[in-house]
Structure 1
Amino acid sequence: MSFINGLTAAMTPLGLLWTVIILGIATFLHELAHYALARWQGVAVGSFSVGMGPVLLRRMWRGTEWRISALPLGGYVEIDGMAPTEGTDGKMHPPTTGYARLPLLGKIAVILAGPVMNLLLALALMTMLFTSQGVPVPDRARLDHVVENSTAQKIGLQSGDVITAIDGQDLPDSLLIGGKKAAGYELVRDTLSRAGRHTFSLERAGEARQVSFDWQPFVDGKKQLLGIQYGPDSRPVAVPEAMSLSVRATAEAVPQVLNAFGNLFRRFLTLDMSQDQNVSGPIGTAEIVSRAAALSPWALVQVAIMLNLSLAFFNLIPIPGLDGGRILLALLGAIKGSPLSFSQEQAINLAGFAFVMLLMLFVVVRDASRFF
């Protein structure tokens, strides 16, 4: 029962609902981009499914059977010329129509469309976040709340005050958007760990102020709390600057995401079940979304940004079974001068698919092991 109780505490019904919505939208737009680029080049699409598993509803429209399937996560498109076909001899043969007849750039465009769509969605959400909430100012911290009857209130601190320096020392540039660390986190903690007289340099309603106070970290053996909640200060930005900042933030995230995937592969190959906060499976994702849903709508937007970036980058990894693997096979066929034989492509795809399935199983088991 401890596993069930832990799982229930980690994931709320609202969090599960938002997980399905966020992943559902990300997957739907990913597959829709594949569909659009195929149809734009005259390639038929047999079916488009929202969800996986048994089909619940289906309807023909513009030559495609549109489906709603039982499992709400995931989806797929069946593009003509991607899968082998059965010949009159009863054997499976490489496709010769649709996608198979496209030039190399046409094939890459169809496959690349999905990850690019997730990347564009992340950029759009990031731009919306910056224009609505402003962008952080790394060397300033705003007091979001001052606890009533606390030491902070007694010395004159007020909600909305912006701390610009502590004991004459500027706040460090340690801001992480949506992360645990806010501007000046370490400096505030270090300051409040030392007894003596301290000074906060503030801005209040555009005016500079100084607040000095005597501080004792412990009184009668009990740890004292100043009584403030704070986060990064921010400044408003227009859409063009927000878009530029979004592109820069995405570019800076690339090495971090690749490093996280690299660590995941190393843990998988060595069967290292220790927890990794940078990569989560479905259970960990639902847990993160549940926490975000309890905070604010903008926290959910930040989660959606990270999920779309992760989906885009993960799909571009050149492993058969992923979009990056399909691009790799197309490139190998172009270098070879002719498509890979059916047996070659089938063996490569089977190995890639098995690897991805085992990797997903490893992530799920590692996620679930936290609750035992």
Structure 2
Amino acid sequence: MNVLQGIAAALTPLGLLWTLLIISLATFIHELAHYALARWQGVTVNSFSIGMGPVLLRRNWYGTEWRLSLLPIGGYVEIDGMSPEEDGQGGHRQPTRGFAALPAWGKVAVLLAGPLVNLLLATTLMTVNFSAQGVPAPDRARIEEVVAGSRAQTLGLQVGDVITAADGQDIPETARLGGRDVAGWEGVREVLTQPGPHSFTVVRAGQPREVKFDWTPVVGGERQLLGIRYGPDVQPVSVGTAFVRSWQVTAEALPQVLRSFAGLFQRFFTLDLSRDENVSGPIGTAEIVSRAAAVSPWALLQVAILLNLSLAFFNLLPIPGLDGGRILLVLVGAVRGRPLSFSQEQAINFAGFAFVMLLMVFVVVRDVTRFF
């Protein structure tokens, strides 16, 4: 199987369609927030494009040229006063009107609006998901499948049983597994790494019961399996509780997302093309969406949540060219009492833009190398 065949096998037409829809929606509301905060402060928005590249359709409406562009990958807004203006002599100078004339807080509001609305969309979708599906309980493992003829079936374990304790110890909310902290229910399998007598406390139909068994992890050089597939137990919650929980999950996700970005930067600077499960490029993202589309709409919803969180956090990084980098330059100018010079700001933004473009190329190359 060649590279193109491998990529085609990993993706599905429906998955590609959902990928474009989810990414386009996330980008559209991001740019719409920039547009709304600029217009609210009286700043003209010259154009708003859905998609990138050559313009297919355009229409002027409320002082803005609305465009539909060829490539369905994101979009952009052109806010008056954010780009250099002509100096009348064939050159360019620092803008003095529109966005450039706003006070520091106004500029920050325009720049912060995009990432913030992605964050709000993610928490809203999480609230919907938790309200409908329940909140995962990290200290309870629900059995989702029992393999026919397995040791688990012999022991009487059933689908729907909830494991609350192992070897007489309650399952903790967090556990250490493979050198990283995970939800406690993921650590249940660690019990089966040691030979000898073991026990699970399971709850079935509201009644706890003890399941005792002797276990040998390896027989004849082959690793033994108990024969269950399990995940976190879920508990129904009110909309209010789901809303609070969505913000808790967002706060808990921030350190993990930042570590993932730090790992990506480290791999970029060392040209490490090995696979990183924490960061996916466009092909990896489409592959994840393809798998989610084959599972359920709720799985697609969870992917949309992750993409919006990633877009929000990434854009807030203090890298010139990104919203976070632009906010940093605004704050530096406010502290200095005057903005950076035209040449300084141009050089910084160019370096940041070049870095982001190279980073994107690196992610795509690493994505493709998985299929060699």
TM superposition score normalised by structure 2: 0.91
Structure 1 residue 207 displacement after superposition: 1.5
Structure 1 residue 187 displacement after superposition: 3.2
1:366 and 2:366 are equivalent in the alignment = yes
**Amino acid of the structure 2 residue aligned with 1:331:** L
Structure 1 residue 287 displacement after superposition: 1.9
User: Are the counterparts in 1 of residues 115 and 316 from structure 2 also a CA contact under 8 Å?
Assistant: yes
Counterparts of 1:162-181 in structure 2 under 5 Å? 162-174=162-174
**Amino acid of the structure 2 residue aligned with 1:31:** E
> Which residue number corresponds to residue 102 of structure 1?
102
> Which residue number corresponds to residue 146 of structure 1?
146
**Amino acid of the structure 1 residue aligned with 2:239:** V
Counterparts of 1:259-278 in structure 2 under 5 Å? 259-278=259-278
Aligned with 1:82: secondary structure?
A: coil
CA distance in 2, matches of 1:116, 1:185: 32
Segments of structure 1 that go 5 or more residues without pairing to the other structure are: none
Structure 1 residue 73 displacement after superposition: 0.9
**Amino acid of the structure 2 residue aligned with 1:242:** A
User: Are the counterparts in 2 of residues 139 and 183 from structure 1 also a CA contact under 8 Å?
Assistant: yes
> Which residue number corresponds to residue 355 of structure 2?
355
User: Are the counterparts in 1 of residues 55 and 69 from structure 2 also a CA contact under 8 Å?
Assistant: yes
Change in 2 beyond 3 A, CA 1:219/1:361: closer
Aligned with 2:209: secondary structure?
A: strand
Aligned with 1:273: secondary structure?
A: coil
Change in 2 beyond 3 A, CA 1:152/1:105: same
1:331 and 2:331 are equivalent in the alignment = yes
User: Are the counterparts in 2 of residues 30 and 115 from structure 1 also a CA contact under 8 Å?
Assistant: yes
> Which residue number corresponds to residue 187 of structure 1?
188
CA distance in 2, matches of 1:238, 1:165: 27
Structure 1 residue 304 displacement after superposition: 1.5
Structure 1 residue 260 displacement after superposition: 1.6
Change in 2 beyond 3 A, CA 1:160/1:98: same
Give per-residue Cα distances to partners, 1:61-115, cap 9 Å, x unaligned: 1111111111111100011111112233222122222111111100110011001
Give per-residue Cα distances to partners, 1:11-50, cap 9 Å, x unaligned: 2222211111111111000000000000111111111101
Give per-residue Cα distances to partners, 1:166-204, cap 9 Å, x unaligned: 33232343489xx9977544433533x556554332211
User: Are the counterparts in 2 of residues 45 and 63 from structure 1 also a CA contact under 8 Å?
Assistant: yes
> Which residue number corresponds to residue 68 of structure 1?
68
Aligned with 2:70: secondary structure?
A: strand
> Which residue number corresponds to residue 286 of structure 1?
286
**Amino acid of the structure 2 residue aligned with 1:78:** E
Counterparts of 1:1-372 in structure 2 under 5 Å? 2-174=2-174, 183-188=184-189, 190-191=191-192, 193=193, 198-213=198-213, 224-372=224-372
Give per-residue Cα distances to partners, 1:241-263, cap 9 Å, x unaligned: 22222212211222222222122
CA distance in 1, matches of 2:100, 2:129: 41
User: Are the counterparts in 1 of residues 139 and 183 from structure 2 also a CA contact under 8 Å?
Assistant: no
Further displaced range: 80-89 or 205-214: 205-214
Aligned with 1:51: secondary structure?
A: strand
CA distance in 2, matches of 1:35, 1:117: 12
**Amino acid of the structure 2 residue aligned with 1:364:** V
Structure 1 residue 332 displacement after superposition: 2.6
User: Are the counterparts in 2 of residues 182 and 231 from structure 1 also a CA contact under 8 Å?
Assistant: no
**Amino acid of the structure 1 residue aligned with 2:8:** T
CA distance in 1, matches of 2:210, 2:49: 62
User: Are the counterparts in 2 of residues 122 and 306 from structure 1 also a CA contact under 8 Å?
Assistant: yes
CA distance in 1, matches of 2:359, 2:222: 48
TM superposition score normalised by structure 1: 0.91
Change in 2 beyond 3 A, CA 1:223/1:349: closer
**Amino acid of the structure 1 residue aligned with 2:276:** D
Structure 1 residue 223 displacement after superposition: 5.3
User: Are the counterparts in 1 of residues 38 and 79 from structure 2 also a CA contact under 8 Å?
Assistant: yes
Change in 2 beyond 3 A, CA 1:127/1:195: same
User: Are the counterparts in 2 of residues 85 and 95 from structure 1 also a CA contact under 8 Å?
Assistant: yes
User: Are the counterparts in 2 of residues 139 and 173 from structure 1 also a CA contact under 8 Å?
Assistant: yes
Q: How many residues align?
A: 369
> C-alpha root-mean-square deviation of aligned residues, in Å?
2.4
Structure 1 residue 362 displacement after superposition: 1.2
User: Are the counterparts in 2 of residues 141 and 182 from structure 1 also a CA contact under 8 Å?
Assistant: no
**Amino acid of the structure 2 residue aligned with 1:340:** L
Aligned with 1:90: secondary structure?
A: coil
User: Are the counterparts in 2 of residues 119 and 312 from structure 1 also a CA contact under 8 Å?
Assistant: yes
